[in-house]
C-alpha cells in the first residue's frame, strides 16, 4: 500500500494530527491525502504565519512576496495560495494566501501594514489575519 485517501471521512483536526504523528513514528513511507493539512496545523508554523484574503486569480506568489518585502514586513519562508468553494451571497471565489515568515515578529509588522490600509496586492486591498484565528 502506497497511498491512503481519507479526506472525505471528516476526521477532526485532533485525529488527523494524532494519526500523522503515529505514521511518522513508525517511519512508514506512505502518502495520506489529508496529512497535507497537518503541515498547516503545526503550532510553530501557525505562530509565524498570516493569511491574506482576498487574493485575485492573477496574483502570484512572487507578487505577494514583493509587496511584503517592499514594505519591510520580514523574510518570507513559504507562501501557499488556496481556493475554497464560493461563499453564498459573495460574487467572487474564496481565494486566500497563507504566508509563513522566518520570524514571528513579522506577523505584527504585517498586521500594522493592514491597519495602515497599505495591504494592497495586485491592485486590490486585502485583509491580513494572524493564522489560527
CATH code of the domain containing 92: 3.30.70.330
Do 73 and 23 belong together in one domain?
A: no
Domain range for residue 17?
3-41
Do 53 and 111 belong together in one domain?
A: yes
Tell me how far apart the alpha carbons of residues 92 and 73 are, in angstroms, rounded to a whole number.
28
CA-closest candidate to residue 72, choices 109, 121, 127: 109
**Each residue's pLDDT expressed in tens, for the chain with a length of 133 residues:** 677 777 667 777 777 777 777 777 877 777 776 666 555 566 677 788 998 888 888 788 888 898 898 989 999 998 888 877 776 777 777 788 889 999 988 999 999 988 888 888 888 888 898 887 6
Q: CB of 104 within 8 A of CB of 48?
A: yes
pTM above 0.85, yes or no: no
Amino acid at each position: 500500500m502506497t497511498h491512503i485517501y481519507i479526506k472525505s471521512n471528516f476526521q477532526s483536526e485532533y485525529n488527523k494530527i494524532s494519526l500523522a504523528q503515529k505514521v511518522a513514528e513508525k517511519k512508514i513511507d506512505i502518502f495520506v491525502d489529508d496529512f497535507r493539512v497537518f503541515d498547516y496545523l503545526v503550532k510553530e508554523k501557525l505562530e509565524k504565519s498570516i493569511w491574506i484574503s482576498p487574493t485575485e486569480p492573477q496574483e502570484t506568489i512572487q507578487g505577494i512576496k514583493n509587496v511584503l518585502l517592499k514594505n519591510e514586513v520580514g523574510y518570507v519562508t513559504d507562501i501557499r495560495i488556496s481556493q475554497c468553494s464560493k461563499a453564498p451571497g459573495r460574487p467572487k471565489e474564496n481565494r486566500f494566501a497563507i504566508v509563513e515568515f522566518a520570524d514571528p515578529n513579522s506577523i505584527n509588522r504585517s498586521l500594522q501594514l493592514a491597519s495602515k490600509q497599505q495591504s494592497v496586492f495586485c491592485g486590490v486591498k486585502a485583509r491580513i489575519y494572524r493564522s489560527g484565528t
